[in-house]
A and B are shown apart, each in its own frame.
Chain A
Amino acid sequence: MKDLLPNITPQLNDVLQSLHFFVPELYLTVLFIVVLVTDLLFGKRSAKMCRVVATGGVFLVILQVLSQQVALPKEAAQRIFNGMLILHHPAISFKLVIDVLALILLMYFAWDNKLKQHTKGLSDLYSIVMGSLLGLHVMAMAVNLLSIYLGIEFVSIASYLLAAYRTGNAKSTEAGLKYVLFGAAASAVMLYGISLIYSFTGTLDIFAPQMQEGLTHINGVSSTFAVGLVLLGIGFKLSSVPVHFYVPDVYEGAATPVTAYLSTLPKIAGFALLVNFITPLIIFSTDAKWAGINIRLVLSAAGIITMIAGNFAALWQNSVKRMLAYSGIGHTGFALMAVTTFSAAGLSSLAYYLFVYGLANIAAFMMANFFENNEDITNIGDYKGLGFKYPVISVAFVVVMISLTGIPISAGFTGKLLVFSAVYDIYQQTHDVWLLALMITGAITTVVGLFYYIKIPLNLFLKRVEIAQNDILKSTNLVVFSSAIALLLIIFGILPHLLTKVL
């Protein structure tokens, strides 16, 4: 005990210094508590209050993240809290993307009729989202196996609660239970991987020299197995094949705004985490003696299979939410393509792609929600002819679908172009056949994607049926908001530098 005493002062100093780089997360922590207390103080009527506090707070957090971005030198990477977390520009970009999307989602939650009518009210939801946001931030910065696990669990537990939020509804409960079961299995697998890595190397810091030492000298199969298990755990958050089984059921069962949350934020943070986790592995594998995992091969294979599985499965879906769930899996595969480049350009294209995907996906769920609120329909087939009844939102829906497909002039296309460029650049240098296969799969699945995305415009505008007019238009805020996002997608499509400057 006495031997450890001298360590206390430097440790404390490190913590105190680290706090300086942890301001947005501190804000989030305080915000979490404030929202929770607001809920307790104002009881049943607190939902509106919580919403205002939460959105206002997240706005402040965004400002803090932006100031971090300005303050941190370009190539700097700051390790904080004894090397548990890292703060560098990619992490800040991802946090920014997450926070902006979270802000949109926070406004959106209250506009779902089914969620709003829930007896519990929405106050708890806001505090859960605040908590998860903190976890997402940790995920984006984690570079220690312990903090990686902590971040993932943080987000997972919040997500389970959100998925099962509408407790009265059997489907929502089923979604929550499925999510918990699959999630628990995934974390167990990941923990097993972490413990194996720890036993091989004696360290949890993924950048530590012992880590390289240990993983290089261990039998290749064993280290591949251990790393593979951790990747599976991360893949669960990305909804990548082969751990994507839960996605359609959970997305369909959860309330629509929650699905919008699940399909974007944890996924984006998962990508940030994946990038953090594989960075040391890439450095290690440049060593000639490295016999372990070929990370590019694994990610490429996963990317190809995920793109194919997601896009082809989406073809057969009738429910809008299930279709978007599968298409989200396809997008994960495409984004994995950007990860395989291991280059700065690949990273920035990844952040751009994910942000645009997130925007479009949230807008798509908003619009699906609009039709759910107004017409009580969830199947694509029931959208028949509604384009003439609700012209504005239907046109916006078409724009969003175009962006998700990746056709000019939309931000989705620019994202695709950036990813292709980054991959092509690396292909030109290495002539790696896997990268070529990725690009070809990406191109083919784009055409496949069109096939199911176009079903929505097809039903909205091309099918002719007699429509009964109803005068009361509900959820106008959804119309305004999702149309604004659609407009934004076109603007970012024409002028992408507006966005890349910030990211």
Chain B
Amino acid sequence: MNLLSLLIFTPMLFGIIILILPSSMRASFRYLTLAATLVQLVISVIIYFNFKTGTTFAGINHEDQFQFIQKLPWIDLNLGSLGKLQIEYFVGIDGISVTILVMSALVMVVAAISSWEITSNLKGFFALFLLLDMAVMGVFCALDFFLFYTFYELMLLPLYFLIGMWGGVRREYAAIKFFLYTLFGSVFMLLVMVGLYMSVTDPATGNHTFNIIQMMNPNNYVQGSVFSTLNNATILGLPARMVGFVVLFIAFAIKVPVVPLHTWLPDAHVEPPTPVSIILAGVLLKIGGYGIIRICMGIFPDAAVSSAFWLGLLGVISILYGAFNALAQRDLKRLIAYSSVSHMGFVLLGIASGTAEGVSGAMMQMISHGFLSSMLFFLVGVVYGRVHDRDIYNFRGLASLMPRYTVYVMVAFFASLGLPGFSAFVAEAFSLAGAFKSSSVNGLLPQWMAVCGAVGILLGAAYLLWTLQRMFFGTLSLKGGEIWKTALTDINFRETAALLPLALLALALGIMPSLVFGKINDAVLAFVSFLQLK
């Protein structure tokens, strides 16, 4: 049995068990979900340790260099003049995906632990949770565009219900906004996908194919097809490949999210219950970054290089705009949501630099942000779960009331603002180094972008430290008075079990970044040289 398929379909198996079990056994659902995510974590760790490194396993545009491949014929439609519709169940990973998989599996465990706060409609919640889990893993493993798209869209419906049914006051608005935004991006992605399919043939069979890796090879494009590199075809008067790139970029930029396509995020991250916020911030945002690397730039490297300046600019804008917005928030959860926008800007900046440092930094930032944002949302959930309030000004001096909690908050905050020794420092330093170096190596980004990015780190320190000061230091003063004081107990064993691994990993990655870099390095180098060929 292929490990990746096992990883993808384990949640589905558990989900079916949950659906079959009678509602009288609802107490067991959360344990089953936790078991599913733990099994996934074990599988992903096994994959991580068995993942081979070296230039012969770089991946990116060489199908034979991917690992844990499983390739099965799936849909075989005979379409007459169009030839055969060849869709494969094709999964495999390279350095770009392997670390994200481990990170996602761990975040899912944390999300499962934080699902203890869910009390209503358990069967529906956990079934949807596991469906979402399956789709997320599938997205990171799929190497067939159709399969990728299927998993990508499959995430929407569970999320819609998870936000909409278990969310806060404005849950309906947040859920539909999220759904419409993402679908808007992805229906146009569908058109580009069909266009690519019509343009690319598999050299082995001569059929059109959805294989993403085949789409990266210019020789596989049919002469005269819309997206052919030689053809210079136009769509509505614009170069076709640029149009394809921009459409795919918009679809993924919505996910990242990149300013100005980020307006769904504050709502969609604030309204849902903690586990869903954790998955959204920890895993789903990375699908945007991953998609940009694997699909957007992988398939349209020429267009990506020529628009690198704009990508970098959008990254810088996201960093600064997100940070300024975070400064202005009263709601702690909203603040963290905007800090996500700011931090994900580094991913885009790093990728746009087109340098090995920048891309490694972007990858590291995705992993690091996955752990840290899950931790932050979990921490907000702790307070909100106890007193149902998260307005920064309603709390003061929490450090004396909840000392252990405050320790984790400080770890998460200092790690997020880029204190050396934590993962985010490595990530942001590498992204900025890449952006700085870009002007001398490939001339894609001007140096002022790196400077602006650095200012973003400063702003990050400002809003996080300010929040720390406002909420945790000083004399104890709570809006809810004595009732809140008794309600705000320090974190218990379950919460520690979720927070401790995250904190340790943030620290470990800061001290030993090779845990990530060692696995991604070959792929990143291959990716950078792949871009330079253009």
A residues near B (Cβ < 8 Å) are 343-345, 348-349, 388, 398, 402, 407-409, 413, 416-418, 420-422, 424-425, 427-428, 431, 433, 436, 439-440, 443-444, 446-447, 450-451, 454, 457-458, 461-463, 495-497, 500
Contacts and interface: CB of A to CB of B under 8 A. Distances in A.
Contact of B191 (A402, A418, A439, A500): A439
Given A443-B190, A497-B77, 4 more contacts: A348-B79, A388-B121, A451-B180, A500-B78
B188 interface: yes
B156 A407 contact: yes
A449 to B, nearest CB: 10
Given A402-B157, A428-B225, A421 B183 contact: no
A447 B171 CA distance: 20
B172 interface: yes
Contacts of A444: 187
B82 A345 contact: yes
Closest A-B pairs by Cβ, 5 of them: A443-B187, A344-B80, A462-B164, A408-B150, A345-B82
Interface in B479-494: none
A496 B183 contact: no
8 contacts: A388-B121, A402-B157, A407-B183, A408-B153, A420-B191, A424-B191, A450-B180, A454-B160
B458 interface: no
Interface string B71-90: 00001111111100100000
B75 A428 contact: no
Contacts, number: 104
A428 B77 contact: no
Contacts of B77: 418, 496-497, 500
A443 B198 contact: no
B184 interface: yes
A439 B150 CA distance: 20
B45 interface: no
B195 interface: yes
B56 to A, nearest CB: 35
B75 A495 contact: yes
Contact of A424 (B187, B194, B224): B194
B197 A421 contact: yes
A344 B80 CA distance: 7
Contacts of A349: 79
Contact of B165 (A413, A425, A461): A461
Interface residues of B, number: 43
Contacts of B75: 495-497
Interface in B168-210: 171-172, 175-176, 179-180, 183-184, 187-188, 190-191, 194-195, 197-199
A116 to B, nearest CB: 34
B154 A422 contact: no
Contact of A417 (B160, B172, B190, B195): B190
A409 B154 contact: yes
Contact of B198 (A398, A416, A424): A424
Given A417-B194, A450-B179, A343 B184 contact: no
Nearest to A416: B190
Contacts of B164: 458, 461-462
Contacts of B233: 431
Nearest to A451: B180
A345 B156 contact: no
A344 B78 CA distance: 11
A462 B191 contact: no
B137 interface: no
B387 interface: no
Nearest to B151: A408
B225 A447 contact: no
B187 A446 contact: yes
Contacts of B76: 497
A421 B175 contact: no
Contacts of A413: 153
Contacts of A418: 77, 79, 85
B198 A421 contact: yes
A363 to B, nearest CB: 17
A420 B291 CA distance: 23
Contacts of B236: 433, 436
Contact of B82 (A425, A446, A461): A425
Contacts of A420: 190-191, 194
A422 B82 contact: yes
User: Which residue, of A409, A417, A451, has the highest number of chain B Cβ atoms within 10 A?
Assistant: A417
Label chain B's interface by main secondary structure.
Answer: helix
A346 to B, nearest CB: 9
A345 B79 contact: yes
Given A408-B154, A458-B164, A458-B172, A348 B80 contact: yes
Contacts of A497: 75-77
Nearest to B171: A462
Nearest to A352: B77
Contacts of B224: 428
A450 B153 contact: no
A408 B180 contact: no
Given A425-B81, A446-B183, A446-B187, A454 B176 contact: yes
A359 to B, nearest CB: 18
Given A348-B79, A407-B153, A447 B184 contact: yes
Contacts of A409: 150, 154
Interface-centre pick from A428, A461, A500 (highest chain B CB count, 10 A): A428
A277 to B, nearest CB: 22
B16 to A, nearest CB: 14
A424 B195 contact: yes
Nearest to A427: B226
A138 to B, nearest CB: 26
Nearest to B157: A402
Contacts of A454: 160, 176, 179
A440 B82 contact: no
A446 B188 CA distance: 10
A428 B157 CA distance: 33
Contacts of A433: 236
Contact of B80 (A345, A428, A439, A457): A345
B154 A443 contact: no
A282 B413 CA distance: 68
A431 B172 CA distance: 42
Contacts of B194: 417, 420-421, 424
B198 A462 contact: no
Contacts of A463: 172
A388 B224 CA distance: 54
Given A424-B194, A497-B76, A447 B149 contact: no
Nearest to A461: B165
A451 B198 CA distance: 30
A413 B149 CA distance: 11
B235 interface: yes
B170 to A, nearest CB: 12
Given A417-B194, A458-B172, A497-B77, A428 B226 contact: yes
A501 to B, nearest CB: 9
Contacts of B199: 428
B75 to A, nearest CB: 6
Interface string B17-59: 0000000000000000000000000000000000000000000
